[in-house]
Chains A and B, each alone.
Chain A
Amino acid sequence: MATINMGKPILDKNDRLAAENRAAFDAAGVFVLDLMASPGAGKTSTILATIAALRERYRIAVIEGDVASKVDAEKIKAHGIPAVQINTGGACHLEADVIARAVGQLDLDGLDLIIVENVGNLICPTEFYLGEHAKVMILSVPEGHDKPYKYPQIFQISEAVILNKIDTLPVFDFNEDEFRSVVSSLNPTAEVFALSATAGTGVAPWAAWLAGRIEDVRAAALSSGGLK
C-alpha cells in the first residue's frame, strides 16, 4: 500500500489540449469566442446578427456544437460563412479535443474570428476550457431575470453577457435593472449588451466590443511576427 500525492487538476488533459488550441489561434491571429446559452436563447440568430455586422471587416467561421443534427451549420453556410458541425451524441458540452478536430477542417490563416456555438446548456460548458479567448453567454428575456440566481457560475466566468430578445420586454415580466444588478454583483467586470438579434437592435455595441477583442489578438500576432 502506497500513497501517491498527485496535486493534479482533474481536467489537466483537457486543459493541455485547450492550451495547444490557444497557441494555434494566437499564432494565426484568430480570435475565438465560446458562446454559451440555454436552448432557444438565440445563439444561432445572435451569431447571424454578429456575422452581418462584422463580415465586411473580418473573415469569420463558425463551429456548431449540438447533441444532434446539422440544422445550425446549414443555416450559417446558407449565408456563405464556413461552418463545421460537431454532434456530441448526447454530451452536454464541448471539450478541447473536439474543437481541435473541428479546427482541423478550417483554414486558420484565412480567418480573423471563429465563433464556437456551445451545446445549449447553462451548467456543463462552464468547467471546460476550449482554448478560446473569451466565453460569452446569452440570456434571453423570456427565460426570466432570475436566472443568474439559479446558474451563477456561467455568469461568473463570462466576460460579457448578451441579453437577447429585448423586443419582447413589453410582454414578459422581466426586470432589466434587477438583472443587471445581479449580474454585476456576480461578475463586476462583465459587460452587458442588451439587443435583439432578429430585429437587429442593439447589435452595434456588441459588435464593437468583439471587434476590439479581434484587433487585440491580431495586433499580438503581428507584433510576434506570426502574421504576414
Chain B
Amino acid sequence: MHEMGIAQGILDASVEAALEQGATGISAIHVSIGDLTAVAEFALQFAFEALQAGTMAEDAAFVVTTVPARSRCRECGHEYGHDSFQMSCPECGSLCLDLLQGRELQIDSIETVE
C-alpha cells in the first residue's frame, strides 16, 4: 500500500497550491499515472478517499488519467505503444528504445473553490 504515501503527496501538494491562491476548497484534482509505474489505480482511489476527509479537498473529485507506455526505437526511429513485457520494436526487433511516456506520476491540475 505505497499508494497511501503517493495519495498523501497528491493531497499535500494540492492543498499547498490551493492555499497559495487563496482558495477555500478544492473541487477536483486531476492526476496522470503511467502504465509502467507500480501504482494501482483502485488502491490510489481508495487511499485518496481515506485521506481527503477533514481536509479542504474533502469533496474533491479525484480524476486519474492512465498514460499508456510509448517508446521510440533508437535503431529505426519507429514509435509504438507497448506494455511492460513486449517492449521490443515491432518493426526491427531492437530493444534499444527511448521511453516517451508511461512512467508519469504527476498532478496535472486542480480546480479550486474561491
Contact = CB atoms under 8 A, between A and B. Distances in A.
B59 interface: no
A2 B2 contact: no
Interface in A5-43: 5-14
Nearest to B105: A10
B85 A6 contact: no
A126 B103 CA distance: 11
Specify the main secondary structure of chain B where it touches its partner.
Answer: mixed
A200 interface: no
Nearest to B33: A10
Nearest to B44: A10
The secondary structure that dominates the A interface is: mixed
Given A124-B38, A127-B37, A153-B84, A3 B5 contact: no
B9 A6 contact: no
Interface residues of B, number: 35
A149 B85 contact: yes
Q: Classify chain A's interface size.
A: 20 to 34
Interface in B1-46: 1-2, 5-6, 9-10, 12-14, 17-18, 21, 23, 27, 31, 36-39
Nearest to A154: B38
Nearest to A9: B106
Given A1-B113, A1-B114, 20 more contacts: A1-B27, A1-B111, A4-B17, A4-B112, A7-B109, A8-B13, A8-B17, A8-B106, A9-B105, A9-B107, A10-B13, A10-B31, A12-B13, A13-B12, A92-B1, A93-B2, A93-B5, A127-B6, A152-B85, A153-B36
Interface of B: 1-2, 5-6, 9-10, 12-14, 17-18, 21, 23, 27, 31, 36-39, 84-85, 87-88, 95-96, 105-114
